[in-house]
Every structure is written in C-alpha cells, then in structure tokens.
Amino acid sequence: MKILVTGGAGYIGTHTCVELLESGYEVVVIDDFSNSNMGSLNNVMKITNKDFKFYEGDVKDKALLEKIFNENKIDAVIHFAGYKAVGESVLKPLKYFENNLLSTINLCEVMQKYNCKKLVFSSSATVYGDPVTLPIKEDAKVGATNPYGRTKLMNEKMLADLYNSDSDFSIIILRYFNPIGAHKSGLIGENPNGIPNNLMPYIVKVATHELEVLSVFGNDYDTKDGTGVRDYIHVVDLAKGHIKALLKALSEKGIKYYNLGTGQGYSVLEIINAFERVNNVKVNYKIVPRRPGDIASCYADPTKASLELGFKATYGIDDMCRDSYNYAINNK
C-alpha cells in the first residue's frame, strides 16, 4: 500500500515516515524544503534501512501533484505540508492563507481526479481558540485566535464540505497539541531555521549556546506560575497516532476528528525545569511581554482517540526533554 506524505521532510513528517516504513507501507514524499532539508530524509532511510520515492516541490504546484499521481498508485495521503508559526502568521496572514489553503485545495482536487479518497489531515489544537472548558473535547466550540489557527479551521470546514459533496471520502482530522521530543536514534528531530517559534527548540538552542537567552512570553497568565500551560506530546507518539488514523481512514468512510495529546498540561517554567533536571544543563531565560495570539492554557481530553483509534501516548515529559537534547547534541 502506497502512502503520499506531503511535507514529509519536516519534523512530524519524518517521524511519521519512519513509522509508516516500519509498519510495511510504501512511502512517497513531497516537500519543498522551506523548513527542512534532504538530510532528514536520508536519516529516515538510515533508521529504517528502507528507500522511498521523493519529489522536491510545492504542494500548491498542481502539475507536480498530477505527475506524482500519474507515476504512483497512491492509496492514501497524509497531509502535513503547511506553514505553522503562530507569530509569523500574525505578521504575514496572507502568506499563511495562500499557502495553507491553496495546498489543500489543489491536493484534494488531484486526489478526487485520481479516485484517491483516503486523507489524514494535520490540524491543530489552535482551532479551539481560547477554550471555555478544560480539558478540551473534540465537540468543544471552535474559533481560532490567530491566522495560523484560522487556516487550520478553514481547512477543516473545507474538508467537511468536500465530504458532504462526495461521501466516498474518508477524512481523519487530527488536532495536535504540542509535539516535542525526537527519535531515540538522535538522527531526526526538530531543528527550525533561525530563531524558533516553538518552546522546545528554543530551549535546546539556548542550552547548546546557539542562542544566548530564552524569551518566556508572559508570566501574568491565570495559571499555576503565570506562564502558559500546554499539552506536550512526544513526536514519536504523535507519529504512531497517524498510523492509527490511517488504519481508520482505510477501513471506513466518513469525516472524523481526534485530539492527539496526553491530557496533561505543563507550564513553560515546568518544561524549562524538567529540561534542566533531566539533562543537567542550565537554560538562561528572561520574561518578556505576551505574544499576540497566545492563550493561557490548552490541554486535551484524549479519550475519543483512545476509544476509537486505540491510541494512547506512552512517553512522559522527561523522555521528551531527554530526546530533544540528545538530538541537538548529535547534530551540533
């Protein structure tokens, strides 16, 4: 069975490719390397000792998508490709709407043309906006607080309309909470270009002296220590969740929504303290004003994914901190 992975050279994409290959699937990857590189795909091959097809290019490029579907009998698609930085989306909303929406539109048009109607879509907990109640269930009110989140929400609504128009589709929408960590091999992990937008790679770059100080955005939220609380999930757990979602997509039609998280919230300062303790390093940080679009707390109710997908996160926060640092040390 052949699976197309868009954005497959990225952080979550590479880990999911590993799980797919180790589960016996054939993999085809498309990526434009806007926030990744070929080295990460080479390392996927090293970890799995398996080869796969790769196409360099943009998912908005319909001609390239046509070429991929012409040259391969694609059975299902896992769609990761998209911009993902909340802060940047506030500054450059049009860039985000153009990229994140048009890539999905073009992909779904080509999938429909080639009668490939199994899709796992990479969404985000940002679609819940500032949650009214915690933990967050899948039927909670949605309404994003930043352009990035709105592109995910608009994609979700678009995919729901697509299913309503063509009930042969099977669409699984995965709302991720906060993926961190890295593969145990230390060969793949998160290494964004420039100053990171997400907490863990920022912590890592300060711990390895690549950056001088970590900016903690706000300490006046209504949380246990004033810093933002999030549900952090190990990226390998998240990747395994995609295998479970794919099985669901292959076995039944419909559109379904699942949270992928642990159900446990940790504050920014708790993550910093855990990282320092587990890795025996010091992380210099400073408190700076809140970031636009950020919220106080966000953590999942993972019950539905457990009952319907058989998915449960297995790694704890110590594993996430240890594996993140191990990857950084291996790749300095």
Residues annotated as catalytic are 148
Q: Which of 233, 317, 314 is nearest to 269 (CA)?
A: 317
Closest CA to 47 of 210, 194, 239, 317: 239
Q: What is the rounded CA–CA span in Å between residue 320 and residue 232?
A: 8
Specify whether the CB–CB gap between 65 and 59 falls below 8 A: yes
Residues 6+ apart with CB under 8 A from 50: 21
Query: What does the DSSP 8-state code read for residue 47?
Result: H
Cite the DSSP H helix spans in the chain.
11-22, 38-48, 62-71, 86-91, 93-113, 147-165, 199-207, 235-251, 268-279, 303-309, 317-330
Contact criterion met (CB below 8 Å) for 18 and 44 = yes
- Residue among 262, 263, 249 at smallest CA distance from 308: 249
- What gap in Å lies between CA 138 and CA 299, rounded to an integer? 12
Contact present, 283 and 275 (Cβ < 8 Å) = yes
DSSP 277-304: HHHT----EEEEPPPTT--SEE-B--HH
Q: How many Å apart are CA 16 and CA 179, to the nearest integer?
A: 12
Number of C-beta neighbours around residue 88 at 10 A? 16
> Which is nearest to 53 in space by CA: 10, 4, 20?
4
